A and B are shown apart, each in its own frame.
Chain A
């Protein structure tokens, strides 16, 4: 039986137009038109014809060197960027991207951040009210609920973000170098466990990481991207093995 698809990417390519000279101002555009100079830009292809289906409840790894197109791919999944013409993206479920330090406004209190994030994901205020205490308690921030996040330490911010993610009702998570085991020892144990039980089991996860251990530990399948192309797709262990081999060679 075929499992339900959470994210389907068909023929996804992405070309960026990079302007070599600065044409972000009206003045420059005008001088270009008057001098009949074509504005200089080059096309940079970040992704070539990506075809992947990610199934519901699966953890899927994305590996590759810096600049291989991993972030672009995530941005396309999040619909921050549009793919080139012809590419079809289908997503099935509420998505949240988790990257440390992102998604949180430092000028707001923990309370407001929880409400903003929660309600964008699609939770009603009622529901947020119910899970609010759990989020705060899990993060261990009871004393700092109404303190602006900018006064938090780095560890506290991570805990808050992690906690929101744990209790948020999203179905698909894009984990951008974001894992359990952040913060001090006590929280590390707690978050590792929560990461296992709440995220890895039952939710769809797309995990981007430079750490092969994490990919191997959590993912069944993975893709290896290089210069915007899929080099290998398949079983996570095989893919990471081949990737490591190629890295050692060069």
Chain B
């Protein structure tokens, strides 16, 4: 960790990076070190989820897992950890104005920093899961190449989308409390259409609209290309998704800058 803060130190506003880093670290600690099992929870959650779906799709609804040559559990795991990280960033981000109220009201803090920290904390956990996944996949006979270098871009992509959506929703949540019901619905929709359970080509064939609308189809597809099939990522979707991510992030950033004060009044 200190290596990264050393690199960050080179930037102009050292304190700001330190601050974001510290709050992220503390968030992470708070989440994973307060229980006995600690970090294992970060891993246990997707593992258990994978077990359930693995059983269902290989024993009950076998058609879904047909045509996937790789180990289906590993296939599921790769998609799930990325999707779950996004959902968590969104849900944590959404409540940031409420959970970090004790800071906002007492010290002048740039609110966008709080969102970045919150998503960063979840990124730590995601990286932890990815490492666990890579070890497992290697165990099942997957070989890696330099394509793995694309992985940080994909992680960044999830971070941009997750924190951006979190910032936007945090404001909406204050004005429309029942938005959470709709979000649950959208999360479910995304869960089933992001290609976590099947290959991206299937979506491209049957419902190309989803393929282009939902960036996670591309992200998860690319994750599998570089970590499971050991082939080059799809550069078109990588670029398109990074641009989508940046746009969402910039939008969220501006929403927070412009509306967070009026929203705080309604808290």
Q: Which residues of A contact B (CB under 8 A)?
A: 16, 24-27, 29, 75, 78-82, 94-99, 102-105, 107-108, 112, 115-117, 119-125, 148
Q: What range describes how many residues of B lie at the interface?
A: 20 to 34
**In contact, A120 and B103 (Cβ under 8 angstroms):** yes
Query: Which residue on B lies nearest to A109, using beta carbons?
Result: B29
**In contact, B106 and A79 (Cβ under 8 angstroms):** no
| Stretch of B73-81, B176-184, B195-203 on the interface side | B176-184
Given contacts A112-B29, A116-B23, A119-B19, contact A25 B102 (CB under 8 A): no
Contact of A96 among B106, B182, B265 (CB under 8 A): B106
Report if B262 contacts A (CB, 8 A).
Answer: yes
Q: Using a CB-CB cutoff of 8 Å, which residues 25-40 of chain B contact chain A?
A: 26, 29-30, 34
Q: Once bound together, how far apart are the Cα atoms of A24 and B14, in whole Å? A: 40
**In contact, B182 and A26 (Cβ under 8 angstroms):** yes
For residue A116, give the distance in angstroms from its CB to the closest CB of chain B. Answer: 6
Report if B109 contacts A (CB, 8 A).
Answer: yes
Contact of B15 among A27, A105, A119 (CB under 8 A): A119
Q: Once bound together, how far apart are the Cα atoms of A124 and B13, in whole Å? A: 10
Given contacts A81-B261, A81-B265, A119-B19, contact A25 B177 (CB under 8 A): yes
Residues of chain B contacted by A27 (CB below 8 angstroms): 178
Q: Once bound together, how far apart are the Cα atoms of A164 and B18, in whole Å? A: 18
Q: Once bound together, how far apart are the Cα atoms of A208 and B261, in whole Å? A: 22
Q: Using a CB-CB cutoff of 8 Å, which residues 219-267 of chain B contact chain A?
A: 261-262, 264-266
A103-B103, A124-B14 known, 7 other contacts, Cβ within 8 Å: A27-B178, A78-B108, A95-B108, A99-B106, A103-B106, A120-B107, A123-B15
Given contacts A16-B265, A80-B261, contact A108 B26 (CB under 8 A): yes
**In contact, A24 and B108 (Cβ under 8 angstroms):** no
